[in-house]
Amino acid sequence: MGGGAPVVVQSMTNTPTTDVDASLRQVRELARLGAEVVRVAVPDMDSARALPALLESSPVPLVADVHFDAALAMEALEAGIHKLRLNPGNIRRAEDVERIARRAAELAVPIRVGVNSGSVPGDLRERYGGVTSDSMWAAAERHVAMLEKTGFRDIVLSLKASDPGLTVEANERASRERDYPIHLGVTEAGTPLSGSVRTAVAFTRLLDRGIGDTVRVSLAGSPAPEPVVAWEILSALGLRRGFVRVVGCPTCARARLDVGRLAGRVEGALRGRRGRLTVAVMGCEVNGPGEAREADVALIATPAGYLLFSEGRMVRKICEDELLPAVRNEVDRLLAAGRYNQGGTS
C-alpha cells in the first residue's frame, strides 16, 4: 500500500460481525467482485471475539472498524486483525491511543486514522468555524501526533466528507502535510447512482494528482456494487484494469435491439471475470463495425441480423436467443487462451 503499489480497492460488510457465516459469505462475494480489502464493524466485544473465525477463512485482509472503546481495538489486535481503523472524533484519550499504537507496532498492524466530517471534535469545529478542511486536518493531525509520539509510523490517513469538494480539499491538505498513504472515500455518498457520481468526481480530482492509495465507494444499501464501481472508476482513469469491461452504444432510433437491457445482462453474466478485455454491445450498423474492430468481443445488430465479432473479425451470425451465451462463451475462450492477462489486476 502506498509508494508505487497499485491503488487498492476496499469495501465493507453490512452484516452483523457476530454472524460469522453471513459475514464470510459477504466477504467472499465482495472479494469475487473485486474487493482486495474488506472492513468489518466492531461495535462491541462480541463482534471483536468473532474476528478470529472471520480471519481464519477470509480470502482477503480484514480491517477492524473501531469507535469509542479502546478495549475493542486491543481485542481486535489480539485476534490477529490485519489493520485497524480508528476515528479521532471518538477515541481521544492520549493514553488509550498510545496503548493501541504500542501493541499495533509489536504486531506490525497498520492503523488508519479515519476522520469523518460528521465526527470532527467540537473544539476544532469551534476553532476553525465549522467542518472545514482545516478542522478535519486538525483532527487527523492530533491523532497522528499521538501515534507518532510512541514511534508508530505505519499510518494510513483518511479524511471523508459527504461533499466531494470538501473531501478533495481535506485530502489535498493531508497529502501536503504528511507522507503517509491515503485512503479515499466520500462518506454518506448516497444511493448507487448519486453516490457513484459524487465519488467519481472526488476520486478523479484526487487520483489524477497522484493522491490516493486505497479507495472505497461508499453506497447506501448492499455493498455489492461498491467494488464494481471502484474498478470502473480506476479503469476509466487508466490506473487499474482487472475485470472484463462492457461498453455499449448510446441508444437511438436506429437501434435494432434493446442495447441497455442486453448490455446490462452481458455485464451481469461476465461480472467477476478477470482480464484486460473489452466487450462492446452495439445497436446498429453505423458505428458497430468500427467499434467491433476496437473491442475484443462485440455484438452488433444489423439489417442482416446479429453478428458476433472477436478480436476484430466477424465470427458468425447468431440468433437472438444466442446473444448472451455466445458472448459469454467467446469471452471465456479468449481468457482461457491466456492473452488477456486473466489473473492480473494492475
Homologous superfamily (CATH) for 8-236 = Dihydropteroate synthase-like (3.20.20.20)
What pLDDT is stored for residue 143 in this prediction? 87
Residue 259 pLDDT > 80: no
More confident of the two residues 88 and 193: 193
The DSSP output letter for 274 is: B
| pTM for the full predicted model | 0.85
Residue 230: other Cβ atoms inside 10 A? 30
Report the alpha-carbon distance of residue 335 to residue 342 in Å, rounded: 6
Q: What's the mean per-residue pLDDT of the chain? A: 88
State how far the Cα of 109 lies from the Cα of 128, in Å rounded to an integer: 33
> Cell numbers 507518532 correspond to what residue?
148
Q: Per-residue confidence at 345, pLDDT binned at 50, 70, 90?
A: very low
Q: What is the pLDDT of residue 346?
A: 45
Q: Give the residue with greater pLDDT, 30 vs 264.
A: 30
Domain boundaries, the chain: 8-236, 245-337
CATH of domain 245-337: 3.30.413.10
Using pLDDT thresholds of 50, 70 and 90, give the confidence band for residue 49: very high
Q: Distance between CA atoms of 166 and 124, rounded to whole angstroms?
A: 16
Q: Distance (Å, rounded) from C-alpha 84 to C-alpha 69? A: 13
pLDDT score recorded for residue 189: 65
Question: In the chain, count of helices (H) and strands (E)?
Answer: 12, 13
What is the tens place of the pLDDT at every residue in 204-218? 999 999 999 999 999
Which of 11-15, 147-151, 325-329 ranks highest by mean pLDDT? Answer: 11-15
